[in-house]
Amino acid sequence: MSAEIVVVPHTHWDREWYEPFQRFRLRLVALLDEVLDTMEREPGYHFTLDGQLACVDDYLEVRPEHRDRIAALVRSGRLAIGPWQILLDEFLCSGENIVRNLALGMDRSEKLGAAMPVGYLPDMFGHAAQMPQILKLAGLEHACVYRGVPSSVVTDAFAWVAPDGTAVRAQYLPAGGYGNGAHLFELPGEVAPRAARFVETMRAWHGPDGPLLAMYGTDHSAPVQGLPGMVASVDARMDTLSGYIGRFSPETAGLPRVEGELRSHARANILPGVISVRAHLKQLMGRAERMVERYAEPLAALWGREWPGRFLDMAWGRLIDAGGHDSITGCGVDETAQQVAARIAEAEHLGQAVRDMVTARLAAAVPAGGVLVVNPTPATRRGVVFLDVAGLDPLVDGTGSRVPLQPLEYAPTLLLDEEMDPAVALTFIHGTELYGRHITGWSVDGPVLTFSVARESSAAFDVAELRDHLAGVTRVRILAETRRTVAALVETPPLGHTSVRPSASASLPSSMAGIGPVRLEGQTINNGLVRVELDDDGTFTLTGADGTTISGAGRIVDGGDVGDTYNHAPPAGDVLVSRPESVEVETVWSGPLVAAFDVRRIYRWAAARAERDEVVSFADDAGRTEEIVVDTRVELRAGEPFVRLHVEFDNRCDDHRVRLHVPLPSAAASSFAEGQFAVVERGLTSEAGCGETPLPTFPASSWVAAGGVAALLEHVTEYELVEEGSELALTLLRSVGYLSRNRNALRPEPAGPQLPTPAAQSRGTRSVRLALMPCGDSWAGVPAAAEVFRHDLLAVPGTGERALGLPAAASGLSVSGDGVVMTSLRLRDGWKELRVVALSDTGTDAVVAGDFTAARTADLRGRPGDELPVADGSLRLPLRAWEIATIQLR
């Protein structure tokens, strides 16, 4: 045959999907047993192990004695492993999660011989804009992609360019993706004609000269006996993916350029419904990533003693495992989703444990009755924090100045008042503990025994002495100290801490110092930055300081969804429900630090949608509706340019989608969404071409902005600009009953087996927190607001001696600069390792200040680079637009 074909045997191993992990692992072990035996028996055999080291880990946990066999094949260049730890979903993990995944996979692959030097991304449902820069900063100059490539690409290689201008050579897998050669050797008698047709097809993509890539494998596929002979029979050769791609120069000059994210539907389905299905998984992941990235690691690096590296490694291991492209996506069976949720929960628990260990040490220097306040962001914060304190005295800080506060709630003080045998009451006591508090004193007045209890106590208690006074007692009372929940306006240093305590002798009056109070009048709340006015239908009008006005915000819209975990599909004749049957409003708080309304709206939603003869239609039986109560807390805090929303309802319906709509101040032709170290601009449509209907629904990680308003988000959320760009719709819930439908109205072919997924209906309580911010013509101020919204100040009760004074406020590390955002801070080999990104279309400077005398750059794997000048504990690092930078400090 005149053209050379390079056959790359491989398997695409979905670690968990339509079966849970352990069931698939049984098959993996059998497959790799066969791979190793085949490769040792047939020296010409090469194999690429799907770009993820997790396959090796899962195998060696069962077959640890085969580690040397794998290492020998890797060192020989015939078995390619890594570079990823796991093949992730790029839009449902944080940027830092992507970095840790890649670094872990490369480091551990190298211990077995080598990591495949190709950013292999074969089956992700689209690709993040900054992936070229991430790969290049980890030392990889080639990528290999399938889904999301636009129709403008007409060759099998292109220059993929990140927002900062970094480019990598991307090997495109046309005409069948990672299985484009899977059919070649199915029938021995058909090998030659099939190879000829393959060459004809691929020459149109590759050009007249050079070898053609045939990816021989598919999902969970095993090697074929005698493959080297069949390959040789058509004048082809066998290699690994890195062996094929490594023959090409990484230079991208002359290649077609594709900039930013790859989310086109032109060449392959990108299955965008995975962004919104099983929303609780996305919520868990967002919360756990923040706990580890922004609380546990930075606090341990700055304020801990011994670095809890093993605990943090375990947390990251679970987050990375949960990020698989059939895991966090929620497009597997219910058992898979349960395992993913458990892993994420463990990661959060590990992060909480590290956070609490560090803050407990700091709280020991704060007297009992006081409160430690910790700032998880790298800028000075003067914000509202909620505290639980004893008594009615004002709060003071370490200088003795009074802290502005607002009482919110008083705890009950009468915990027990019952006729009972006092001997029974004594069984309630454990040491000094009684009813979750500690005994501070007791008294007997006739037939009544009264205990006084408090959160903390140093008083001695002798139960034997009490027994001598119980004669005639028939009633027992437990009285708790007065405690209240207050909102306090506290200033906290960057990544640092301060403390406050109740005191009757505050030396100075409290001051808001330039922060306007929150005022409530009727159904309007106003803090000078944002004005919120409730409307009769439960929506509200939001007005910014510049006059930007959003009317009718917060409308809830329910509609049918008879799609599956991969793709939304509205039923024929769908009926949207957006008007509540009744609305109730209750004032919760009225200022001056925080004001809030509770809005209760009652709807009638269809209980289910019906299918008849594979044609899906809206259930028109009036009896098949459910009364659904949607509660929304609308909250405004002093000094914040956004209104906080907490939406909650009990989902008792199937096959539907619930969205929150925000009319835009002005119609938008595009949106701007943050995620994975970038802000991506997207239009009102998506490119079509492959098969699925290209719905313009997109992911946003921490915020999305359009038409003068920004939505601040706690976790990855699906959004869409609807009504010709005049409204922003945020998906709160998407309920479906099948992994994939054989017939989905918006996708012509199945995306997987048609298996029931009753848990994907997401019945039960759905609770979502977000915020809305008028932002005018620019999103420049949104990242800083999102930092505040997503990272609450921490309040930790003091545990030191009451006689202690409050410790001085202490600063950890400050990071500043136009558009500069901190994404990570941890300890590595004795250095504090800081990662930042410039979310800016223009170059900027990152200014870092703290307790350090030496600094250097590093790559994403922590390998040191150039020394940086430090003056008086401060450095200034110039950054390109959209540059990701890693800095090590000591």
Confidence check: pLDDT of 512 > 90: no
For residues 521 and 27, what is the distance between their CA atoms, to the nearest angstrom?
A: 66
For residues 75 and 54, what is the distance between their CA atoms, to the nearest angstrom?
A: 18
Confidence class for position 690, pLDDT limits 50, 70, 90: confident
Confidence class for position 508, pLDDT limits 50, 70, 90: low
Confidence check: pLDDT of 616 > 60: no
Q: pLDDT, tens digit, for every residue of 133-168?
A: 999 999 999 999 999 999 999 999 999 999 999 999
Average pLDDT value for residue range 88-114: 98
For residues 163 and 588, what is the distance between their CA atoms, to the nearest angstrom?
A: 45
Within 10 A of 719 (CB to CB), how many other CB atoms are there? 26
Tokens for 842, please give them: 């223009």
Q: pLDDT, tens digit, for every residue of 422-431?
A: 999 999 999 9
For residues 98 and 75, what is the distance between their CA atoms, to the nearest angstrom?
A: 26
Percent of the chain at pLDDT exceeding 90: 91
Q: What is the DSSP letter of 703?
A: E
Confidence check: pLDDT of 619 > 80: no
Confidence check: pLDDT of 1 > 60: no
Tokens for 711, please give them: 């939505």
CA atoms within 13 A on the CB side of 13: 33
Average confidence score pLDDT of the chain: 95
Tokens for 105, please give them: 């996979």
The H-or-E segment that residue 299 falls in is: helix 297-303
Among candidate residues 654, 738, 668, the one with its CA nearest the CA of residue 696: 668
CA atoms within 13 A on the CB side of 155: 16
Q: Is the dihedral of CA 106, 110, 115, 117 positive or negative?
A: positive
Average pLDDT value for residue range 655-668: 97
Answer for the pair 352, 294: CB distance below 8 angstroms, yes or no: no
| Most confident stretch, 200-204, 577-581, 622-626 | 577-581
Average pLDDT value for residue range 768-772: 98
Confidence check: pLDDT of 621 > 60: no
Q: pLDDT, tens digit, for every residue of 551-608?
A: 999 999 999 999 999 999 999 989 999 999 999 999 999 999 999 999 999 999 999 8
CA atoms within 13 A on the CB side of 731: 31
For residues 858 and 866, what is the distance between their CA atoms, to the nearest angstrom?
A: 8
Confidence class for position 285, pLDDT limits 50, 70, 90: very high
Cβ-based neighbours of 743, under 8 Å, separated by 6 or more: 614
Confidence class for position 505, pLDDT limits 50, 70, 90: confident
Average pLDDT value for residue range 20-48: 95
Average pLDDT value for residue range 54-63: 97
**Is-above-0.75 flag for pTM?**
yes
27-31, 241-245, 606-610: least confident range: 606-610
Confidence class for position 507, pLDDT limits 50, 70, 90: low
The H-or-E segment that residue 128 falls in is: none
Answer for the pair 468, 381: CB distance below 8 angstroms, yes or no: no
Tokens for 885, please give them: 């930078």
Question: What is the pLDDT at residue 107?
Answer: 97
Cβ-based neighbours of 644, under 8 Å, separated by 6 or more: 633, 634, 635, 636, 637, 769, 770, 771, 789
Confidence class for position 622, pLDDT limits 50, 70, 90: very low
Average pLDDT value for residue range 397-407: 94
